């Protein structure tokens, strides 16, 4: 029955070209649907995000594309060696002069997260059974053995009102009869970790209680429940917390948006559990310039969609800010869409490979019981995951000039990066037809200008025949929208 319902919903979405309830329907860089199902209106939040919200008598409408700038988020834990409570110095005034400057914890978040998030699979239609099923699928599908560990709950898990006495957020008992703490215990007993969702505004994107002004209470609550990961969104920001113009000192770390997130970072620093902190700020306020001072990862854009145009646009955005990537600092290209929409298997390979070699968090976002053998092989590829999770080298692969007179594409097609195993080359065919791609070995950063090399196919897990001199070129026919991945070592 569940499979039938999902198929009908997917077909309906394709035919009607509408975003689901609480789904994104607009914003800067958004390439998905811009109208909503009957009874839901595309409601503007800020220039980066518009969402389908209930509206009596409203019909779907496109969202405006300009206005308010959004915010950022931050986290920290006890036991870190770099925690500081000193205040900004210089000419800062107002709230920026007294805002906490606590850095994120170094007890978690060194490597980009590997896990699953409920939103792309279920939206707001979540419950304990679905979350626990995902956790058990980590085991049965071999994802835990491949390194996946976070099972993350997104929006719509709470009651609409806080507890009137304690002011704590209250889980929806119908959806979560054992509470979040009971679910966390079950997930921890599987050797996995659990994530939760909140918002740096007065309410979440779906209208449930946000954490702005309740940071200490909510951090303590999440700690008591056994939470390991916090996704912190950016909806429903009061006007006095928005920004206009350049922030003090020309540093967006001092913007109102960043300070909203810094307040949660400081609150998380007072609890006992290391909680990985995701700043779901949609690429606003130059977050890549200051995100590492506040959290472990930061969203680069609005919500993902299962389209080739989204994949190429977010890679293009990320490539401009790869200098921000290192241990405890990850540009987040949003949740995976493998298993969703009409992406070809080649596009899904590129989707996964790019997230891996650019070291974005990888959070699967589908009903994993529906993944095919081919899709599972993609998301469990041991060699791409090893590059992504390398504990010695924290930087991502970078674009490089593969050969003389190489054409310019957007996004770039050729990337190289180092791991503990050697030098890697990744090539994306951005064109809509099969194309021959090539690179000269002496052009690959990190390779010697003399000597001979052997090439290993990271997808197949096998060495290619023969050896190559530094001055020689390597050519390969790459299918439309596909990505090839190689490890190159001395022969």
Q: In this structure, is residue 86 part of a structural domain?
A: no
Residue 75: pLDDT band by 50, 70, 90 thresholds? Answer: very low
State yes or no: pLDDT of 90 exceeds 70: no
State yes or no: pLDDT of 120 exceeds 70: yes
State yes or no: pLDDT of 64 exceeds 80: no
Integer Cα distance of 179 and 174 in angstroms: 9
pLDDT in tens, 315-343: 999 999 999 999 999 999 999 999 999 99
What total number of domains does the chain contain? 3
pLDDT in tens, 408-451: 999 999 999 999 999 999 999 999 999 999 999 999 999 999 99
Residue range 207-227: mean pLDDT, rounded: 98
Query: End of a domain among 389, 414, 441?
Result: 389
Question: Do 302 and 161 sit in the same domain of this protein?
Answer: yes
Query: Could you tell me the CA-to-CA distances from 78 to 226, 265, 272, 352, 466 in Å, in that order?
Result: 16, 11, 7, 34, 53
Q: Which of 199, 228, 233, 243 is catalytic?
A: 233
Question: Do 138 and 259 sit in the same domain of this protein?
Answer: yes
- Tokens representing 197 are 């969702």
Query: End of a domain among 358, 389, 420?
Result: 389
Q: In this structure, is residue 322 part of a structural domain?
A: yes
For 26, the domain range is: 9-53
Q: In this structure, is residue 81 part of a structural domain?
A: no
Question: Do 219 and 111 sit in the same domain of this protein?
Answer: yes
DSSP for 179-208, written as a single string = HHHHHHHHHHHTT-EEEEEEESSSB-TTSS
pLDDT in tens, 227-237: 999 999 999 99
- pLDDT computed for residue 23 by the predictor: 66
Omega before 411 cis (within 30°)?
A: yes
- Closest of 45, 72, 423, 80 to residue 263, by C-alpha: 72
| % of the chain with per-residue pLDDT over 90 | 79
Question: Do 199 and 220 sit in the same domain of this protein?
Answer: yes
Q: Which of 33, 172, 243, 303 is catalytic?
A: 303
- pLDDT computed for residue 91 by the predictor: 81
Question: Do 360 and 436 sit in the same domain of this protein?
Answer: no
Greater confidence (250 vs 374) lies with: 374
Q: In this structure, is residue 61 part of a structural domain?
A: no
Question: Do 33 and 121 sit in the same domain of this protein?
Answer: no
Question: Do 287 and 424 sit in the same domain of this protein?
Answer: no
Sign of CA dihedral 20, 23, 29, 34: positive
State yes or no: pLDDT of 79 exceeds 60: no
Report how far Cα 404 is from the mean position of its chain's Cα atoms: 35
State yes or no: pLDDT of 296 exceeds 90: yes
- pLDDT computed for residue 40 by the predictor: 77
Per DSSP, the three-state class of 297 is strand
- Which H or E run contains 437? strand 435-440
Predicted TM-score of the model (pTM): 0.84
Question: Do 364 and 411 sit in the same domain of this protein?
Answer: no
Q: How large is the greatest C-alpha to C-alpha distance in the chain, in angstroms?
A: 73
State yes or no: pLDDT of 483 exceeds 80: yes
Contact 447, 400 (CB under 8 A): no
pLDDT in tens, 163-174: 999 999 999 999
Per DSSP, the three-state class of 20 is coil
State yes or no: pLDDT of 49 exceeds 60: no
- Which of 29-33, 75-79, 214-218, 295-299 bottoms out in mean pLDDT, i.e. has the lowest? 75-79
Q: In this structure, is residue 92 part of a structural domain?
A: no
- pLDDT computed for residue 27 by the predictor: 66
List, in sequence order, every residue forming a beta bridge with 54; answer none if it has no partner.
Answer: 40
Query: Could you tell me the CA-to-CA distances from 316 to 325, 410, 411 in Å, in that order?
Result: 15, 6, 5
State yes or no: pLDDT of 351 exceeds 80: yes
State yes or no: pLDDT of 240 exceeds 80: yes
Question: Do 383 and 409 sit in the same domain of this protein?
Answer: no
Q: In this structure, is residue 475 part of a structural domain?
A: yes
β-pairing, 422-428 vs 414-419, is: antiparallel
Question: Do 141 and 207 sit in the same domain of this protein?
Answer: yes
- pLDDT computed for residue 6 by the predictor: 30
Give exposure, 343-379, as e/b (b: 16+ Cβ within 10 Å): beebbbbbbbbbbbbbbbbbbbbbbbbebeeebbebb
- pLDDT computed for residue 26 by the predictor: 76
Residue range 247-273: mean pLDDT, rounded: 96
Query: Could you tell me the CA-to-CA distances from 454 to 250, 419, 449 in Å, in that order?
Result: 49, 16, 14
Per DSSP, the three-state class of 64 is coil
State yes or no: pLDDT of 83 exceeds 60: no
CATH of the domain at 259: 3.20.20.70
Helices (H), 17-81: none
Greater confidence (110 vs 19) lies with: 110
- pLDDT computed for residue 191 by the predictor: 98
Contact 208, 170 (CB under 8 A): no
Told to judge if 33 belongs to the known catalytic residues of this protein, a careful annotator would answer no
State yes or no: pLDDT of 253 exceeds 80: yes
Find the length of the chain.
Answer: 491
CATH of the domain at 485: 2.60.40.1180
Question: Do 379 and 417 sit in the same domain of this protein?
Answer: no
Question: Do 120 and 261 sit in the same domain of this protein?
Answer: yes
Contact 65, 27 (CB under 8 A): yes
- Tokens representing 251 are 């540093």
List, in sequence order, every residue forming a beta bridge with 196; answer none if it has no partner.
Answer: 230
Report how far Cα 462 is from the mean position of its chain's Cα atoms: 30
Residue 264: pLDDT band by 50, 70, 90 thresholds? Answer: very high
Greater confidence (423 vs 64) lies with: 423
Greater confidence (197 vs 28) lies with: 197
Integer Cα distance of 209 and 172 in angstroms: 12
Query: End of a domain among 369, 389, 409?
Result: 389
β-pairing, 483-490 vs 422-428, is: antiparallel
pLDDT in tens, 129-163: 999 999 999 999 999 999 999 999 999 999 999 99
Upper half-sphere CA count for residue 427 (Cβ side, 13 Å): 26
Told to judge if 482 belongs to the known catalytic residues of this protein, a careful annotator would answer no
Greater confidence (54 vs 281) lies with: 281
Q: In this structure, is residue 69 part of a structural domain?
A: no
- pLDDT computed for residue 21 by the predictor: 61
Residue 42: pLDDT band by 50, 70, 90 thresholds? Answer: confident
Q: In this structure, is residue 239 part of a structural domain?
A: yes
Contact 302, 30 (CB under 8 A): yes
- pLDDT computed for residue 430 by the predictor: 98
- pLDDT computed for residue 54 by the predictor: 62
């Amino acid at each position: 029955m569940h499979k039938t319902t999902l198929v009908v919903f997917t077909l309906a979405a394709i035919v009607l070209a509408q975003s689901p309830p609480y789904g994104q329907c607009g914003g800067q860089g958004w390439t998905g649907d811009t109208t909503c199902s009957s009874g839901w209106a595309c409601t503007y939040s800020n220039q980066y995000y518009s969402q389908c919200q209930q509206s009596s008598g409203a019909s779907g409408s496109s969202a405006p594309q300009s206005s308010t700038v959004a915010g950022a988020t931050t986290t920290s834990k006890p036991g870190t060696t770099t925690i500081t409570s000193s205040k900004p110095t210089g000419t800062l005034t107002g709230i920026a002069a007294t805002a906490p400057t606590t850095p994120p914890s170094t007890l978690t978040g060194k490597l980009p997260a590997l896990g699953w998030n409920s939103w792309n699979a279920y939206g707001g239609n979540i419950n304990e059974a679905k979350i626990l099923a995902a956790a058990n699928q980590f085991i049965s599908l071999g994802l835990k053995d491949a390194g996946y560990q976070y099972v993350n709950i997104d929006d719509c898990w709470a009651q609409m009102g806080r507890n009137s006495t304690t002011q704590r957020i209250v889980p929806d008992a119908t959806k979560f009869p054992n509470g979040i703490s009971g679910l966390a215990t079950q997930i921890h007993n599987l050797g996995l970790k659990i994530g939760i969702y909140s918002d740096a505004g007065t309410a979440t994107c779906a209208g449930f209680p946000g954490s702005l002004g309740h940071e200490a209470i909510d951090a303590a609550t999440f700690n008591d429940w056994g939470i390991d990961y916090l996704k912190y969104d950016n909806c429903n920001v009061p006007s006095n917390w928005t920004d206009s113009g350049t922030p003090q000192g020309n540093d967006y770390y001092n913007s109102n948006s960043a300070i909203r997130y810094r307040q949660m970072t400081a609150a998380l620093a007072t609890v006992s559990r290391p909680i990985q902190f995701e700043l779901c700020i949609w690429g606003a306020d130059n977050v890549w310039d200051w995100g590492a001072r506040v959290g472990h990862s930061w969203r680069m854009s609005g919500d993902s969609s299962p389209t080739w145009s989204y994949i190429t646009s977010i890679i293009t955005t990320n490539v401009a800010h790869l200098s921000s990537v290192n241990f405890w600092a990850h540009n987040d290209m949003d949740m995976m869409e493998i298993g969703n929409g009409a992406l070809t298997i080649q596009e899904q390979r590129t989707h996964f490979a790019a997230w891996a070699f650019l070291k974005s968090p990888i959070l699967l976002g589908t009903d994993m019981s529906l993944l095919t053998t081919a899709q599972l092989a993609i998301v469990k590829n041991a060699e791409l995951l090893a590059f992504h999770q390398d504990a010695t080298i924290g930087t991502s692969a970078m674009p490089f000039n593969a050969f003389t007179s190489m054409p310019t594409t957007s996004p770039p097609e050729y990337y190289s990066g180092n791991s503990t195993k050697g030098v890697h080359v990744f090539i994306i065919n951005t064109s809509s037809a099969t194309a021959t791609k090539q690179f000269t070995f002496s052009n690959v950063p990190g390779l010697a200008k003399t000597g001979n090399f052997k090439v290993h196919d990271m997808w197949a897990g096998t060495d290619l025949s023969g050896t190559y001199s530094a001055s020689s070129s390597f050519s390969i026919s790459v299918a439309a929208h596909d990505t090839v991945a190689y490890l190159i070592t001395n022969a």
